[in-house]
């Protein structure tokens, strides 16, 4: 199962007898290499076309046997009632008798998909039998009901994502490229970002002119120059106007020598993509930003299921 990084170890009772297994699942962050926001649909949602890739920055989901369901998170504000990982469990039926701990490493409200990835990790755990026999379920439908980014995280690789997130075309094995991600000291509401983009006049690109389809082909060909030339995020102009800290982070990346710099998702994180680690480190060394701008040196996540 991609992304799970499953660690299994025996759990013991006070008498020292095994009572089950402790399972650890990885939940990776993502970045959008393109993000085309299309027209608002009759159901009120926007269509999108986007190419997303997973990063090796990841939350950890730990599941172990218990006599009742309990949940703990390293971020106290991400409580059980509003946590997508718990919502994913509830979507499967009655809560199982496990202790579930979420170790957050992905920044929140940052455009990196951390909550969606956590939910997908729970579904992956369920598909693997962590909560009993998985049964026959429409896993993609369950994922989509939880959030538009959740189906992507079931793909196990980068992917073209269309519709409202339910159409996922996997990219196959990914190149070993790198990303320097910056988190400005500001958060962005996705709903606010969509409202802002609705307020401007935009030319909606037909599918046969889509930069996302062209970038998917270049990504599969491991053609960095073409990928770089096609990177684009429709949210970036409106989000930068409303959050100058984001624009400052993009400017700092470019001043440090980044040949590309882009908003991640609807923000607030930004990133630059490099084909090798040395180039990433060179940009990082020249970067000039206040200490409250967090930095994350990442690589595209491994895609073992897609390697021939």
The catalytic residues are 30, 149
Question: 282: closest CA among 183, 174, 176, 178?
Answer: 178
Q: How far is CA 160 from the centre of its chain?
A: 13
**CA distance linking residue 281 with residue 284, whole number of Å:** 5
Give the Cα separation of 116 and 138 in Å (integer). 17
Question: Is residue 90 classed exposed, middle or buried when 0-12, 13-18 and 19+ CB atoms within 10 A define those classes?
Answer: exposed
CA-based nearest residue to 216, from 174, 271, 276, 188: 174
- Range 250-257, long-range pairs (CB < 8 A, 24+ positions): 252/182, 252/287, 252/288, 252/289, 252/293, 253/180, 253/182, 253/283, 253/287, 255/286, 255/288, 256/283, 256/284, 256/286, 256/287, 256/288, 257/282, 257/283, 257/286
Nearest residue to 108 via CA among 83, 131, 132: 83
- CA dist 100 and 133 (Å) reads 18
């Amino acid at each position: 199962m991609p992304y799970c990084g499953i660690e299994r170890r025996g759990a013991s009772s006070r008498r020292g007898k095994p009572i089950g297994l402790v399972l650890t699942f990885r939940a990776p962050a993502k970045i959008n290499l393109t993000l085309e926001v299309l027209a608002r649909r009759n159901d009120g949602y926007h269509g999108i076309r986007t190419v997303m890739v997973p990063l090796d920055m990841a939350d950890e989901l730990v599941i172990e046997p218990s006599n009742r369901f309990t949940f703990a998170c390293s971020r106290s504000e991400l409580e059980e009632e509003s946590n997508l990982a718990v919502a994913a469990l509830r979507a499967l039926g009655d809560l199982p008798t496990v202790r579930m701990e979420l170790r957050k490493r992905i920044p929140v409200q940052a455009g990196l998909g951390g909550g969606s990835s956590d939910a997908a990790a729970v579904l992956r755990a369920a598909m693997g039998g962590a909560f009993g026999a998985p049964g026959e379920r429409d896993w993609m439908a369950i994922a989509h009901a939880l959030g538009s980014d959740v189906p992507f995280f079931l793909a196990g690789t980068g992917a073209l994502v269309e519709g409202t997130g339910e159409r996922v075309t996997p990219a196959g094995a990914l190149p070993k490229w790198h990303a320097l991600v910056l988190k400005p000291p500001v958060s962005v509401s996705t709903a606010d970002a969509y409202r802002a983009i609705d307020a401007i006049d935009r030319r909606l690109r037909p599918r046969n002119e889509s930069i996302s389809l062209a970038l998917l082909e270049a990504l599969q060909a491991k053609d960095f120059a073409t990928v770089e030339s096609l990177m684009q995020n429709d949210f970036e102009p409106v989000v930068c106007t409303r959050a100058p800290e984001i624009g400052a982070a993009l400017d700092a990346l470019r001043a440090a020598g980044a040949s590309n710099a882009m908003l991640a998702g609807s923000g607030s994180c930004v990133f630059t993509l490099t084909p090798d680690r040395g180039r990433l480190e060179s940009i990082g060394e020249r970067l000039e930003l206040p200490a409250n701008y967090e930095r994350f040196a990442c690589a595209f996540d491994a895609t073992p299921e897609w390697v021939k």
